[in-house]
C-alpha cells in the first residue's frame, strides 16, 4: 500500500473545518480562529484545499460562511453572466463566483488532473 503525502494534514484540515462549521453560530471569532489555523496548515505543508471548502471560508476574517447565519447571498445579472455574491456578516467582505447554466468543471474534476488513484483498503 502506498502512503499518501500529507494525509495527516488533510485530516487535521478536515477536523478544523468541521469544528469551525459547528461553532460559528455561537462564537464567530473562534470559528475564524479555526479557519485561520486551517489555512495555515495547508500553507505550511504546501497543500491545496478543496475548492468547495475554500469557497465556504471568508478571505478576510476566515470565518465559515453559512447562508442566513454568517453570510448573505445575492444573485446578480451582469451582461451575459450570472454571478453569485456572498457577503460576510462579520467583516462585510464580498466574494463573487460565476454561476453560468453550463457549469465548467474545476481543474480537480478534469480527467487530466488525476495522476494516480490510491485506494486505502
Q: Which of 48, 63, 59 is nearest to 17 (CA)?
A: 63
Domain segments of the chain as ranges: 7-102
The dihedrals phi and psi of 22, each to the nearest 5 degrees, come to -75, -35
User: Do residues 10 and 47 touch, judged by C-beta distance below 8 A?
Assistant: yes
Q: What's residue 4's pLDDT? A: 67
Grid coordinates standing for 121? 483498503
Q: What is the pLDDT along the chain (121 residues), one digit of tens a residue?
A: 566 677 889 899 999 999 999 999 899 889 999 999 999 999 999 988 888 899 899 999 999 999 999 999 998 887 777 888 999 998 999 998 887 655 667 776 788 877 777 776 6
Q: What is the pLDDT of residue 83?
A: 87
Alpha helices by DSSP H, the chain: 7-23, 28-44, 51-55
Determine the pLDDT at residue 16.
94
pLDDT value for 28 = 87
Q: Which residues contact 28 (CB under 8 A, 6 or more apart)?
A: 63, 70, 90
* The predicted structure's pLDDT at residue 93: 94
Amino acid at each position: 500500500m502506498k502512503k499518501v503525502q500529507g494525509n495527516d494534514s488533510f485530516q487535521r484540515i478536515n477536523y478544523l473545518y468541521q469544528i469551525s462549521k459547528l461553532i460559528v453560530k455561537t462564537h464567530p471569532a473562534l470559528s475564524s480562529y479555526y479557519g485561520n489555523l486551517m489555512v495555515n496548515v495547508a500553507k505550511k505543508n504546501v497543500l491545496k484545499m478543496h475548492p468547495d471548502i475554500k469557497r465556504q471560508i471568508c478571505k478576510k476574517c476566515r470565518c465559515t460562511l453559512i447562508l442566513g447565519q454568517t453570510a448573505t447571498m445575492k444573485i446578480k445579472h451582469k451582461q451575459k453572466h450570472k454571478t453569485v455574491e456572498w457577503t460576510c456578516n462579520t467583516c462585510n467582505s464580498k466574494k463573487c463566483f460565476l454561476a453560468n447554466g453550463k457549469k465548467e468543471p474545476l481543474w480537480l474534476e478534469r480527467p487530466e488532473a488525476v495522476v494516480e488513484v490510491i485506494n486505502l483498503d
